[in-house]
Amino acid sequence: MSRVLNFLVEGPTEKEFVTNLIYPYLWENHGISNVRTITIETSPGFKGGDVRYQARYKPNIQKLLRGQEDLLVTSLIDYYRLRTDFPKYAESRLLPDVIQRVSLIENACFDDVNDTRFIPYIQLHEFEGLLFSHTKGFEELFPDLPNANKRELIETVQNFPNPELINERPQFAPSKRLERLIPGYVKPLWGNTIALENGFDKILAQCPRFKSWIEILIQRMKA
């Protein structure tokens, strides 16, 4: 049996993102077909959010690793509002650079699980940041937005060449910007539609940390 790549995700939007964007890219460009997506049961109905490390994240990782030997397990969860029980969380807050903070937590998760088949990944700052990789999704899908709203969305894309760095403060988080500027925005409905309109290649081009993660997965699956 060939190696299986398992994605542990925090909600239905992330699950659809793996299914509709990551998987087709892996298959069409690299011939990787054995991909599974598992949603962490964080709330009734698997709505996402509230990913607790000891109670939910780590047990799910360990359960997957107890499966067949030739597999990889990775995760797709948000750094925004990450629970403070994640390893090295307190120490990470002392670091001046947010990329260093996330990397410290990821490395601590790897050390705690202690299995080379585990590739932890925490999205900086949150999934919705990936949607700001291009203006096309906003322009094509929401042509009737008020001009001021459309202009702010476009300016956000232009002001953040790396949309992963869009501010983590609650009022400026990517998800809050979308909810404020797009009336009726609902993450499960619009999140992947915007991503598909922008294109996965554009996300890879604009989001270096995300791209690095995808490249690591490809390398490990082909090793």
Whole-angstrom distance, CA of residue 173 vs CA of residue 126: 8
Using a pLDDT cut of 70, give the percent of the chain over it.
Answer: 95
One domain, residues 12 and 106: yes
| Number of domains composing the chain | 2
One domain, residues 34 and 105: yes
* 139 pLDDT above the threshold of 70: yes
* 112 pLDDT above the threshold of 80: yes
Domain span including residue 135 = 131-187
One domain, residues 20 and 98: yes
Report pLDDT digits (tens) over 54-106.
999 999 999 999 978 899 999 999 999 999 999 999 999 999 999 999 999 99
One domain, residues 138 and 121: no
Residue 60 CB coordination number (10 Å) = 19
Predicted local distance difference test score (pLDDT) of residue 1 = 52
Q: Is the whole model's pTM more than 0.85, yes or no?
A: yes
One domain, residues 136 and 117: no
Q: Is residue 80 part of a domain?
A: yes
Averaged pLDDT of the chain: 94
Q: Which two tokens stand for residue 91?
A: 């120490």
Contact indicator for 9, 183 with CB cutoff of 8 Å:
no
Residue appearing with tokens 């609650």: 170
Tell me the CA distances in angstroms from 149 to 7, 121, 144, 153, one per residue in order.
34, 32, 10, 6
Residue 221 Cα to chain centre, angstroms: 19
One domain, residues 74 and 160: no
Contact indicator for 130, 41 with CB cutoff of 8 Å:
no
Q: Is residue 100 part of a domain?
A: yes
One domain, residues 97 and 206: yes
Strands, E assignment, 63-136? 71-78, 118-119, 122-123
Residue appearing with tokens 């909600």: 11
One domain, residues 16 and 92: yes
Predicted local distance difference test score (pLDDT) of residue 86 = 99
Q: Is residue 196 part of a domain?
A: no
